[in-house]
Amino acid sequence: MRKNLNKVNWGVRIFAFLFVVISIALFYPEFYQQFNCYLKGKANIISQEWHIAALNILLFLLLLLPLSFRKKARWGEYGLVTAFFVSLFIEMYGFPLTIYFASRYFSEPVACLPPVLSFDFWGVSFGMELPMIFSMIFIFIGTLLIVWGWITLYRKSKKNDFVVSGIYKYSRHPQYLGFCMIVFGWFIDWPTLITVIFAPLLIYKYVKVCVVEEREILKEHPEYGKYIERVPFFI
């Protein structure tokens, strides 16, 4: 059984590594142009669409619900990710403060990528550049991991024990991995001061929370050590 799990995890690791490396190798100019455009405040932006901002804030904060089924969940620890999502979507669809701030200091023209996908939603026209499509893959997979973990935890929520079934057979912290992937995805999608500063902090914070939770579980359930030996931290 353990050998089969190792094969699955190694397959996922190799696929993820190749996906990232090949994507960067093929589309490095597009990624660079995306960062250059947004960090210098020259991006085409959507503003004053507060209903879109509110909808996105609600949807992504709902992803925090799975944490209520974790035995050691402390809601105060997740204030930073809440602030991240709120400020991110307010800037993306409400008032793009860092875009305006950066544009005051970079007056030279900057070429921005043309959208490769356009669509209308709730009265607003959206355009997605190539790096945004790449980032949506991370956000989508991260969301799936969180939902899968939520379903597993919900089914086991009445048992006073740590969960080792479902997706937890392959990852000790699939939901936190999902959050890290979502944060990384938004970092690629919207590379302004908010994500450049807060994305690394959030990822560091979630890794730290994982370590603290494992120490606490080990105190109550020494057998958790065997689970650590056979299941990887993330993948």
Half-sphere exposure for 24 (CA within 13 Å, toward CB): 6
> First and final CA of the chain: distance in angstroms?
17
Residue 235 belongs to some domain of the structure: no
Residue 73 belongs to some domain of the structure: yes
Query: Phi and psi of 213, rounded to 5°?
Result: -60, -40
Residue 30 belongs to some domain of the structure: yes
Residue 194 belongs to some domain of the structure: yes
Q: What is the CATH number of the domain that holds 31?
A: 1.20.120
Task: Specify which of 43-52, 67-76, 176-185, 216-225 reaches the highest per-range mean pLDDT.
Answer: 176-185
**Model pLDDT for residues 161-196, shown as the tens digit of each residue:** 677 888 888 899 898 899 899 999 999 988 888 888
pLDDT at position 140: 93
Tell whether the model's pLDDT for residue 1 goes beyond 60. no
pLDDT at position 157: 62
CA–CA gap between residue 23 and residue 180 (Å, rounded): 19
* pLDDT cut 70: percent of the chain above it: 86
**Model pLDDT for residues 4-13, shown as the tens digit of each residue:** 556 677 888 8
Residue 208 belongs to some domain of the structure: yes
DSSP one-letter string for 118-183: EEEETTEEEEE-HHHHHHHHHHHHHHHHHHHHHHHHHHTTTSSS---SGGGGT-S-HHHHHHHHHH
Residue 90 belongs to some domain of the structure: yes
**Model pLDDT for residues 57-115, shown as the tens digit of each residue:** 888 888 776 555 555 545 455 677 788 888 888 888 888 777 777 776 776 777 788 88
Range of 26's domain? 2-230
Tell whether the model's pLDDT for residue 135 goes beyond 60. yes
Residue 72 belongs to some domain of the structure: yes
For the segment 33-53, the average pLDDT, to the nearest whole number, is: 84
**Model pLDDT for residues 136-164, shown as the tens digit of each residue:** 999 999 999 988 888 888 777 666 567 78
Total of domains in the chain? 1
pLDDT at position 145: 92
* pLDDT cut 90: percent of the chain above it: 10
Q: What is the mean pLDDT of the chain?
A: 82
